[in-house]
Amino acid sequence: MERYTINTLPVNPTEDFQDMRCTSAPSRIEFLWCAIKSNILQNATTIGKVALILVLIGIIVMLVAGRPWKALTLLAVLTLAYGKFLWNINKLYSNLHSSDCFPVLTSEGPQYIMDINNGERYIRIESAPWQEVESISFYSDFLVIEMKDESESGFFYMWTNDMGKAKQTALSMWRKALEPKDKNGTQPEYYSETETAEVSDFIEDTFGEYAEVFHEIVSPDIHIDIAIIPPAENRNYYTLCTMGVGAHRMNVPDQYRYEYLLAERAELLIYLPADWELAEDSLSDERNYWPIRLLKDFARMPIRTDSWVAWGHSLSHSDSEPFADNVPYNSALLLCPQPDIYDRISLPLSTGKSVDFFQVFPLTSEEMEYKLRCANDEECEDSPADAMLEHFEMDREHWIEYVMNRFNYRKNA
pLDDT at residue 219, rounded to an integer? 87
> In terms of domains, do 152 and 204 share one?
no
> In terms of domains, do 6 and 155 share one?
yes
> In terms of domains, do 65 and 127 share one?
yes
187 is a domain residue: no
> In terms of domains, do 144 and 290 share one?
no
- Residue 375: domain span: 193-412
DSSP code per residue over 238-300:
EEEEEESGGGSPP---HHHHHHS---SEEEEEEEEETT---STTGGGSHHHHHHHHHHHHHHH
> In terms of domains, do 207 and 306 share one?
yes
197 is a domain residue: yes
pLDDT at residue 245, rounded to an integer? 97
201 is a domain residue: yes
> In terms of domains, do 251 and 224 share one?
yes
337's torsion region: left (phi>0), alpha (psi -120 to 50) or beta? beta
183 is a domain residue: no
> In terms of domains, do 30 and 122 share one?
yes
pTM over 0.85: yes
- How far apart are the C-alpha atoms of 222 and 175, rounded to whole Å? 22
pLDDT at residue 53, rounded to an integer? 66
Residues of the chain with pLDDT under 70: 13, 40-56, 74-75, 77-82, 181-186, 413
Instruction: For 170-219, write each residue's pLDDT tens digit.
Output: 999 999 898 876 555 567 899 999 999 999 999 999 999 999 999 998 88
185 is a domain residue: no
- How far apart are the C-alpha atoms of 173 and 19, rounded to whole Å? 9
93: number of Cβ within 10 Å: 20
> In terms of domains, do 355 and 283 share one?
yes
Count the domains in the chain: 2
186 is a domain residue: no
> In terms of domains, do 122 and 241 share one?
no
pLDDT at residue 33, rounded to an integer? 85
> In terms of domains, do 390 and 262 share one?
yes
